[in-house]
Amino acid sequence: MDARKKLFLGLGGTLWFLSVLLAYAYTHKPFSPEEVFVLVRAFWQLFIGFSLVSLMGALGDKLFPAIRQEFSLLIALALQSALGMGVLGLFIFFVGVSFGFSTIFFVACFLLLSIFLRKDLFAWWCAWRALVPLWQKSTVFEKVLGWGVLFILFVTLGKSLAPPLAFDSLVYHLTLPKIYLLEGRINYLPELIFWGMPQQQEMGQAFAMVLGGTEAAIIFSWALGSLTLIGLLGYLSEKFSTQVAWVALVSLLAGQTISDTLSWGYVEWTAMLYGFSVFVLLDLWRSRREDKFLWLSALLVGFAMGTKYTTGILFVAALPIIFLTKRRYGLKSVLRDISIFAGISLLIFSPWLIKNLLATGNPVYPLLFPSGAMDVHRLTLYQGDLAWGDWRDTIFLPWRATIWGLEAKVGYSAEIGSLMLALSPLVWIGWKERSVAQKRALQTALILTLTGFLLWAVAGRTSRLLIQTRLYFVLFPTWAILAGVGFESFSKIRAGGVRFGRIASALVLLAFGFNLFLTGVNFTKLRVIETLIGAQTPTSYREHALGTYESAMFAIAELPANSQVIMLWETRGLACVPKCEPDEVIDRWYADIRNYGSPEAVLDAWREAEYTHLLFYEHGADFIREDDPAYTDADWVALEQFLSQLKLEKDFSSTYKLYSLRSIK
Residues 226 and 138 grouped into a single domain: yes
Q: Of 366, 398, 421, which closes a domain?
A: 366
Per-residue pLDDT, averaged over 95-117, amounts to 93
The whole-angstrom separation of Cα 326 and Cα 330 is: 7
Residues 246 and 115 grouped into a single domain: yes
Backbone phi, psi, residue 234, to 5°: -65, -45
From 194, 187, 179, 208, select the one nearest 85 (Cα to Cα).
208
Count of Cβ atoms closer than 10 Å to residue 74 Cβ: 23
Quick check: is 41 in a domain? Answer: yes
- pLDDT tens digits, 215-272: 999 999 999 999 999 999 999 999 999 999 999 999 999 999 999 999 999 999 999 9
The whole-angstrom separation of Cα 203 and Cα 270 is: 13
**pLDDT above 70 covers what percent of the chain?**
98
Concatenated DSSP letters of 230-288:
HHHHHHHHHHT-HHHHHHHHHHHHTSHHHHHGGGTT-SHHHHHHHHHHHHHHHHHHHHH
Quick check: is 531 in a domain? Answer: no
Backbone phi, psi, residue 347, to 5°: -65, -45
The whole-angstrom separation of Cα 416 and Cα 251 is: 9
From 612, 493, 509, select the one nearest 560 (Cα to Cα).
612
Q: What integer best gives the mean pLDDT of the chain?
A: 91
Residues 247 and 281 grouped into a single domain: no
C-alpha to C-alpha distances, 261 to 159, 176, 178, nearest whole angstrom = 10, 19, 20
pLDDT at 1 over 70: no
Decide which of 411 and 58 is more confident. Answer: 58
The whole-angstrom separation of Cα 217 and Cα 164 is: 10
pLDDT at 665: 54
Decide which of 33 and 612 is more confident. Answer: 612
Q: Of 346, 366, 386, which closes a domain?
A: 366
**pLDDT above 90 covers what percent of the chain?**
66
Name the pLDDT band for 663 (thresholds 50, 70, 90): low
Residues 234 and 322 grouped into a single domain: no
Q: Is 411 helix (H, G, I), strand (E, B) or coil?
A: coil
Cross-strand partners of 499: 494
pLDDT at 388: 82
Domain span holding position 636: 551-664
Decide which of 25 and 481 is more confident. Answer: 481
Quick check: is 546 in a domain? Answer: no
Count of Cβ atoms closer than 10 Å to residue 601 Cβ: 13
Q: How many domains does the chain divide into?
A: 3
Residues 227 and 294 grouped into a single domain: no
Residues 304 and 278 grouped into a single domain: yes
* Cβ neighbourhood burial of 430 (10 Å; 0-12, 13-18, 19+): middle
pLDDT at 511: 95
Quick check: is 543 in a domain? Answer: no
- pLDDT tens digits, 407-456: 878 889 999 999 999 999 999 998 888 999 999 999 999 999 999 999 99
Residues 308 and 201 grouped into a single domain: no
* Cβ neighbourhood burial of 390 (10 Å; 0-12, 13-18, 19+): exposed
Considering only the C-alpha atoms of the chain, give the largest distance between any 2 of them, rounded to a whole number of Å: 98
Per-residue pLDDT, averaged over 500-523, amounts to 92
Name the pLDDT band for 391 (thresholds 50, 70, 90): confident
Residues 328 and 202 grouped into a single domain: no
pLDDT at 386 over 80: no
Quick check: is 439 in a domain? Answer: no
Residues 108 and 245 grouped into a single domain: yes
In this prediction the pTM is 0.92
The whole-angstrom separation of Cα 15 and Cα 60 is: 47
* Burial annotation 32-48 (CB, 10 A radius, 16+ → b, else e): eeeeeebeebbeebbeb
Residues 214 and 342 grouped into a single domain: no
pLDDT at 443: 95
Q: Of 208, 232, 266, which closes a domain?
A: 266
The whole-angstrom separation of Cα 269 and Cα 380 is: 30
pLDDT at 67: 92
pLDDT at 229: 97
Quick check: is 583 in a domain? Answer: yes
Enumerate helices (H) and strands (E) in the chain, giving the number of each: 32, 7
Cis peptide bond prior to 578, omega within 30° of 0: yes
Per-residue pLDDT, averaged over 368-372, amounts to 87
Quick check: is 520 in a domain? Answer: no
pLDDT at 106 over 70: yes
Count of Cβ atoms closer than 10 Å to residue 171 Cβ: 20
The whole-angstrom separation of Cα 301 and Cα 412 is: 25
pLDDT at 647 over 70: yes
Contact 641, 596 (CB under 8 A): no
Residues 61 and 128 grouped into a single domain: yes
Per-residue pLDDT, averaged over 189-203, amounts to 93
Residues 156 and 279 grouped into a single domain: no
Quick check: is 303 in a domain? Answer: yes
